[in-house]
Amino acid sequence: MVAIANAGGSVAVLGAAESVSRGQFALRLGLETRLVAAQEYRAGWGAAAYACSPVGPAFTERVTAITVTSSNALDAQHPAGSALNDVLSVYDLSGNGGTYSLLSDYVQQRAQQPELLLELRLANAATASTGPQQFTVVYQLSNGEQYTAQTVPLMLTQ
């Protein structure tokens, strides 16, 4: 995961203590998951090798939770350490072109077939507080694996 400044298609990864306006701030998140290809077994064929078209990959685990928190209060309703899932819009960068309303909705809608590269943006940037921030993402798979990533400290500006 990295914090970025996304200004009209021009993307810059933010370094420690860099400033970014609330409207250009985004998180790029690459989900870690395993894919497998499987061919349906048909009774009666026995053990045999045969040529076939490639089988599309499928996810072996579901994403059961994604939670984003911040080191400082993001707004009056989101003090330091509280979940920000209800204020982050989700954009699919995996090539499917999907835009989802909020992160809280995305987990429910796409848990079985998650995108592998997401961009999270403030749904209403004007209400976000300015000042120092550091964001943490925790996501969990159905097998119990949990992954955590944290941005460098940055400065949100108007």
pLDDT in tens, 116-149: 788 999 999 999 999 999 999 998 988 898 999 9
- Domains present along the chain, CATH in parentheses: 2-32+56-157 (2.60.40)
User: What count of Cα atoms within 13 Å lies in the side-chain half-sphere of residue 133?
Assistant: 30
Residue 117 DSSP SS3: strand
The tokens 């090539």 sit on which residue?
95
Residue 119 DSSP SS3: strand
Rounded to two decimals, the pTM is: 0.81
- What's the chain's average pLDDT? 85
**pLDDT of 55 above 90:** no
> Residue 92 and residue 99: Cα distance in Å, rounded?
6
> Residue 35 and residue 38: Cα distance in Å, rounded?
10
Least confident stretch, 16-20, 58-62, 116-120, 146-150: 58-62
Q: What are phi and psi of 106, to 5 degrees?
A: -55, -45
**pLDDT of 51 above 60:** no
DSSP assignment letter at 127: G
Mean pLDDT, rounded, for 97-106 = 81
Mean pLDDT, rounded, for 100-110 = 85
Q: CA angle, corner 126, sides to 86 and 88, nearest 5?
A: 25
